[in-house]
Amino acid sequence: MVIINKSTRFPAIGLFISLLAILSACSDDLSQLERIKSRGTLRVALIATPPLYFPDESVIKGYDYEIIASYAESIGSTLEIIRANTISEIITMLKQGKAHIGIAGNSPDSSDKNILGSTAYDEDEWHVIGNRKNTLPKSVDDITPSTVIVAKGSKPALVLSDLKPEHPSLFWLELPNGNNRQVLEQVNKNNFKLSVISADVYKYYRYLYPEIKIAFTLNKQFPSRWLSYKSDDASLSKSIEKFINSYKQSGKLEQRYNTYYRHLNAFNYADSFHYLKNIKERLPQYRSLFKNAALDNEFDERFLAAVSYQESHWDANARSYTGVRGLMMLTKDTAKRVGVKDRLDPKESITGGAKYLNILKASLPERIKEPDRSWMTLAAYNVGLGHLEDARILTELLGDNPDLWIDVEKHLPKLSQKEWHQMTKHGYARGHEPVAFVRRIRRYYDILRLFQQEEILEKLDRPLELDKVQITSPAL
């Protein structure tokens, strides 16, 4: 028998096999962090609901998403999001090696000894919520057994389990194959009495489900941590610790938090109720106009719709005491500038308003990035580009960043104070008005995004199995 030495008979193949062996050996020697960097992709399992993550293409992507995106960039990797509904799903993905990091927002620490939690980068309250039509309990001990419903394997289920040792009589219902959004909808419809929700999620979803109301706040707060699989290789966890500590110390975490939550502090039940009603009844007739104008001027159509609702409540015949008119409430001078002949014509008004917003946006310094660029565009739409520039100059004089909206909005109100506006080029302005104007539009924008997102996600949800809801009370 003749044995052929492949490396001699086929030298190219032999060289290739040797190279693979070398690369494999080198790969085995790499740390977990080095392997992630080498492959160029960081896989993150994340509960894909606001405010953690907005699964659409828009100005803002999500509070936790933007933090982890900054981390991915810092290690030279592309971020790959793996969407999850519950924290149980995230833990399973980490154990199976499908994800490097898991993010679930603020919740009790996992009881699984194989799951490692990072240093906390946030901490928040949890609320017991119910339908505002009902008489609601004032403490955990006032809760009637089995009137609280949560999704099985969810963060709220973990929170209730954490409360159980102190409240042995606490029993609740768990919805199989469900998610927190579905639970909130059921409470909003008054199909179930109570549920548990973190404060950050409540700040967003109370606008989409205005019938839910806080019954009381739990006396415990839980941290937000990044989760990873525990191993002898600590390279990834050490890198995470270093990044989070640096991110907090730099002030970027506070800036990010204010970007996502500050404008949501004011809740008006009547305004939210009527806005949702108008989204269903008035918006559809104008949606194609907003879409076309957005495409022509590189805006998110929901951004334009939110501006229009703030200005006219989508009333094509709207008119203010100052004489501005139409869906985008254009002045005569602005209408002339953008070629609008009939301010009451919906198409002309929306097209003209979008064009004017684009002009303002293009007038801002290129170094101003999103989403700050959009918020400053709105301020200029309300108070004028000159007054906005005055406020930016004051912002810089007082030691803050003129390119960040969070800093500029602090100083805009000074334009109504003589000691400040006399120093500016354009003089007096009611500087508090653009601040309120921008906050209202940002709320309308977020609500509209949530509403349209729900329409998409509802089609992806598993059917509710209300007949399989089970009473739960883990053993102490």
- Calculate the dihedral angle through the C-alpha atoms of 252, 254, 257, 259, rounding to the nearest 10 degrees: -70
For the chain of 476 residues, list the mean pLDDT of each consecutive stretch of 10.
38 54 58 94 90 75 93 96 88 95 90 90 94 95 91 89 91 86 91 93 93 95 93 93 96 89 89 96 97 96 97 94 92 95 97 97 95 96 96 96 95 95 94 96 93 76 69 62
Amino acid 15: pLDDT: 56
Q: Determine contact, residues 257/267, Cβ cutoff 8 Å.
A: no
Ranges of beta strands (E only) in 362-442 are none
CATH code: domain 271-453 is 1.10.530.10
Q: What one-letter code names the amino acid at 184?
A: L
CA 154/CA 142 separation, integer angstroms:
23
CA 150/CA 160 separation, integer angstroms:
9
Q: Active-site residues: which are they?
A: 311
Burial (CB < 10 A; 0-12, 13-18, 19+), residue 114, is exposed
Q: Determine contact, residues 375/441, Cβ cutoff 8 Å.
A: no
Domain ranges of the chain: 271-453
Amino acid 211: pLDDT: 96
